[in-house]
Every structure is written in C-alpha cells, then in structure tokens.
Amino acid sequence: MAEPAAESVVQVRQHAVQIDHWQDDDLSPPELLFNRELSLLTFTRRVLELARDPKVPLLERLRFLCISCTNLDEFFEVRVASVRQRLQHGANQPGPDGLTPSAALEVIRDAVVEMVQEQYRVMNDELTPELAEQGIHILRRSEWTKRQREWLHDHFRQELMPVLSPLGLDPAHPFPRILNKSLNFAVALEGRDAFGRDSGMALVRAPRSLPRIIRIPENHSRGPDDFVFLSSIIHAFIDELFPGMQAKGCYQFRVTRNSELFVDEEEIEDLARALEGELMERGFAEAVRLEVADNCPEDITRFLASKFGIEDADIYRCDGPVNLNRMSAICDLADRPDLKYPPFQPNTPKSLLSGSNLFHAIRRRDWLLHHPYDSFQPVVDLLRQAVSDPDVLAIKQTLYRTGVDSALVGLLVEAARAGKDVTVIVELRARFDEEANITLATRLQEAGVQVVYGIVGHKTHAKMLLLVRRENDRLVRYVHLGTGNYHQGTAKAYTDWSLLTGDARIGQDVHRIFQQLSGLGRVQKLNKLVQSPFGLHDFLLERIDRETRHALAGKTARVSAKMNSLTEPSIIHALYRASRAGVEVKLVVRGICCLRPGISGLSDNIRVRSILGRFLEHSRIYHFENDGQPETWAASADWMERNLFQRVETCFPIEDADAAERVYHDSIQLAFEDNVQAWELQGDGTYHLMHPVGEEQPRSIQGLLMEQAADD
C-alpha cells in the first residue's frame, strides 16, 4: 500500500486542538471540525505544490502557479469578504468549528502571508530559472539589452502611451475609483507641474485592453520566447508620462474587492435587471485586500490603504508582479508542446458516434459517460438530433455555466426558431458568470425560448436535459443527467459523470422537477430521483445511519463518496457515528473538508483523500454497501449546507450493476490505489502526498483512466 512521503506535506495551520483519542459520546464540540476557510486555503496550497512537482510538464507547472493565485483572488472576493461582513454586522459568534469571525481573519492572515511568500519563491527561485534553461525568458529591466530596450521604448510610445491616462492627484483630481483586481501604479513625482505647483503623487492604470505579457521579436532576442511584463515597460518609461517632472518611484498595487452580489429577491420584481445593477457596482465594492510591491515605501502604502479603507492586516507585499496569474499567457504564447501535457483524445462509444441515431441507441440501453475520458460530444449530438427531428416536440434544460460561445445555446435557439417548445432554466446567480448568463438568457428569449430564472432564494444547480419525442402515437421522454455543467470546455478538463437514459420513471421525475421550477408547484413524489432542498439531506443521513445499523449488527457496512467539498455538520457527525460503529468510510474530497479523519475512538475508520492532477476532479458519487446490496448514486450536490438546503439539486441512481461497479472503481477504488496524485488528510489537518512503497509501481488514477480510454 502506498504511504505518505514525509517530505511532501501541506499544512495550513488549523486552530483546532490536537486530538489523539475521543471517548465522549457528545460529537458537538467544535474541535471536531476543521475551519472551512483554512481547509480551502489548504486546497490552494496543494495546487501550488503541483507547480513544484518535477513530474508535471514545466509550462503546466506555471499554469498551476497561476491557478493558485486565481484561487486566492476568489478566496478573498468571496470567503474573506463573507467573514468580514459577518463581523461588520455584529455577528461575531463562533462558527461550527469554534472560531469567531475576528479570530478566523487572524489565522487566515497568517496562512495567506505564508502562501504568498511561497508563491513568489516558487516563481523567482524555481520556475523562472527552469524556464530560462528551456529557452523561455521572463526578462527583468536589468536584463534588457540595448537593442531590446530600444524596441520596448518604441513599443511603449506606439502601443502604450496612446491609451495611458496618468492622473495627478490634487483637489480637482481626487483619488479615483479603482476597479477590482486592476493593475495600477502609484508614482512619486518630483519637480513642478505645468502650472508651477509642486508635484506629489500620480496614479497610472495599466490598460485593460492590452496584454500583460509582451513577446519581444525574435530578431531582437536570443530566441522566440523572450517575454516582458507590461508592468516592466511602464516602470521603465514612466517619466515620459510626466514631462517636466521626474518619477522618483513607481510602485505596483492592486485592490481586491468583495464580489458577492446581494439582491433582496423577495422585494424585487425583475431579477435580471436587479442583478445587472449590482454587476455595475461589483467592481467597486468594499475592498478586502491590498497588494503592493515589496519596495513600496511605507508612507505610500498607508496612503493607499487609507483610500481603500484597508487595515494593516489586509495589506500583502509582493516580491514581484502583483498579478502573477497573468503569467498564464506564457503557457499559450510559448509554442512548446514538449513542456505541456500531451494531447488527449477522449473515447466515444461506437453506438454514440456522430451520425448514429442516438434515440435508438438510448432506447436500447442506458449510457454512462465518464468525462473527460469519454467525450461530451454525444450530449451535444443528442440535442442537435433533437433540433432536427420533427418528432421531438419539446426540449427542457437547465443552464448554470455554459461558456461564452456555447454550441448548446445555439442549438436551443435553433430549436425555438424551428417551432419546438423550448424551456430553459437559466441560473442567473452562478457566481462570476452572472453577466454571461444574463446575456445568454436575453439571446434565448429573443429566439422565443421560454426562460425561467429558477427559484427565489434557491440556486438551480441541477444538471438536466429532457427531450419529449412522439413515437408510435405516444410521447416518450429522453433524459440526460450529469454531475457537471453544460460547458463543452470544462467537459474536457473536469471529471464528471453523464447518464443518458430513456427510463420512463426517471423521465417522469425530471418532468416533475421542471414543472416545479417553472410553475412553482409542489413536486409529487419522485420515482427514482432524490432532490434538494426536498429530501436529499434526509436521504443521505438515512443511508449513513443504515450502514451504522448494519455494522452494529455485524453485517457488511461501507460508505464511500466523492465530492468537491464536505462541510455540513450533521453529515459529518453521522459519519463519525458510523466510524465508531465500525463502518468503513472512504471519502474522496477534492477541496474543503471539515471532517477530521483518523482520530482514535472517533474517526479511525474514516480515510479522506484529495486527488489533484491534470484534470479537475469534479464528480459527485455516493456509494452505500448495504450488506451486499449496494447502492450507487451520482449527483450534482456536494455535502455542503448550500447544496443540501439552499439549492435545487438532483441525485440519480446508477442501477445497472456493471455501470455501478465502473463508477465505484473509477471514482473511489482507483483514488485509494493512487500513489502519485493522491493527498491523504490527517487528523491534525495536514495533507500527505502518497508515493510508491518498495517495488510498488507508480499508479495514477487519471493516468490509468486516460490509458483505458485510449485502448477502448
């Protein structure tokens, strides 16, 4: 069995006390739960470790570094903003983990300072030198040759100066509104301005319309892959923006703002219009973090902090560009396939290939697809065939995230224009996709699609497609259910399961849920599906408690599940009770996990692993052994409060025995055999990277499934 590599440990300090053994029957003490925010930071730290992994291609390591920075941005925009809001509203009561918001902000600060230092160390000391060894140079100003400097100076005058608008600060030019995450420069000036006054400070905003990474032409460099930051060019020639004055210092800064949208859905009449108004102000909401260059003088830093209402604890100094995530452009600009993951071609079952009659194929049997190892194209092709099939009368679909240029949206438009009855549930409140979803909703409505925005107070997160077709003088339903979004891009990068079925009872269930979402009536009893917020939480507790009863009776008992996050306290307590009864619990939790595994007398029968690799592990799978009569389910819901109580989610059974065995094998079994990409959570909050032991061969869940797809 694989063991953790002692040198590969990731930890973000948890506040919880060390627990070696638990004897109390009371499972409510807060020390039994990890803090949600710190657990999320630990996930981001594991992503950062991929940037250090020599087994990962070099440009992919750079991409993982950028992903860790993007994750940290979102962490501040959403999680830190949420904690701060609770504190500002006077709600300083401890959370389930025992931390008050004020205490949480303190430990978050310590953890983020360490992480930011590590991000820049990895960039400066590891990735930049290794990229240079491969002929990819990120040139500092001190490294520019005379010929390069001349070209860059010309580039500045022709491409940058026409779009730059420096702002000198005085009573007529007060401190401006600074857009969320925009790159800006504070410039300390010396000399007199054009009107004879002593100069002071000016601000320069980097143009959002220009790329942050500039490639120097090959005839001015050592090769095709010499790059310069846009910020370096502005630094070098900043004086030219202030004729007659001298720039004594130029310092990058970036502010991160609260990006949560608040709309009182009970009081508004038009959700789309209300969200549009909120989106206009999102970029200028309350500041939650200020990033400044590490050489920025203290007086300028404090001046900026005062303008943003930022405390010292919210200031982070950066040993390099304040927007490292922009370096991801290099991964695309550098034409170096040898430094990237090799191309991967997903498998498509022969019966589902383009050109096949998919209605006939699904009528014969259910089809289970594991993306990205199985292609998402059959789902697109099914909708395409429905659009052109005169026997298809109605199409109903949920859309949460689809992408800007979604082929599925185009097909829905085409179907409506062809006279079919098309209803689409568009979730406008999909975080950071609100604007795109408002745009696609407008496009659908203009084509004659009946667009519904879901349920007030509950996001529609379920993934459902329903096709109603006339066959032999009767109406037949065809259904797609999935654990992921209807997004063709993420279907190539996220692991998810899709079920294509003509099962009449599942079709009736999906029909009833669509009726509820559009008509707001009560859902009649469902045949096979389980839905939140109406029953999924109780369903899970009942299944876990059933395994507990089996274990106490000496029967075979096991709970296995895969998800993105596990935070819901009553589910965690049920798993603790199951463990104490002897139930074997195996959990694959990619991101946040508030459960403490491996504690003697409490959770010593629980193991938790997180898989990080080329693909983002995104599927949700629940498996209950049930004394030899196993049940396997796939779902759109994580085991979080929001998914179980505040969202419309679906959970569907995998009834075919072979298909259920495949789901368990691919999602759970292989994850616990992985000794390359698996991190195992310890009772103290640390994650240990697994590695081969002795003669054991390296075994990667994603690598094995890619090989299997290539052989099919």
Residue count of the chain: 712
Ranges 147-156, 226-235, 275-284, 375-384: which has the least confidence:
275-284
pTM of the model: 0.92
Cα–Cα distance, 385 to 127 (Å, whole number): 48
pLDDT of residue 279: 46
Q: Contact at 8 Å (CB) between 699 and 669? A: no
Token pair, residue 204, equals 């320069």
**What is the Cα–Cα distance from 96 to 575, expressed in whole angstroms?**
16
Res 275: pLDDT: 44
Left (φ > 0), alpha (ψ -120 to 50) or beta: where does 361 sit?
alpha
Q: Number of H helices and number of E strands within the chain?
A: 21, 28
pLDDT-based confidence at residue 204 (cuts at 50, 70, 90): very high
Q: CA-to-CA distance for 712 and 709, rounded, in angstroms?
A: 5
How is domain 350-525 classified at the CATH fold level?
Endonuclease; Chain A (3.30.870)
Q: In the predicted model, is pLDDT for residue 439 greater than 80? A: no
Range in 169-173, 300-304, 317-321, 465-469 with the lowest mean pLDDT? 169-173
Task: Give per-residue pLDDT as tens, 480-506.
Answer: 999 998 888 889 999 999 999 999 999
Question: Are 385 and 359 in contact, with CB atoms under 8 Å apart?
Answer: yes
Catalytic residues: 461
Higher-confidence residue: 21 or 709? 709
350-525 with 532-711: one CATH topology? yes
State residue 588's pLDDT score: 98
- Least confident range from 6-15, 101-110, 575-584: namely 6-15
What does the mean pLDDT of the chain come to? 89
Q: What are the extents of the domains in the chain?
A: 350-525, 532-711
Peptide bond into 207 cis (omega under 30): no
SS3 488: coil
Query: What is the CATH code for 532-711?
Result: 3.30.870.10
Q: What is the pLDDT of residue 426?
A: 83
- Give long-range contacts, CB 8 A cutoff, 24+ apart: 191-200: 191/244, 191/245, 191/246, 192/244, 192/245, 193/168, 193/244, 193/245, 194/244, 197/170, 199/168, 199/242, 199/245, 200/168, 200/169, 200/170
The one-letter code for the residue type at 423 is T
What is the structure's pLDDT at 9?
67
- When pLDDT is averaged across residues 21-48 and rounded to a whole number, the result is 92
Nearest to 605 by CA among 574, 588, 580: 580
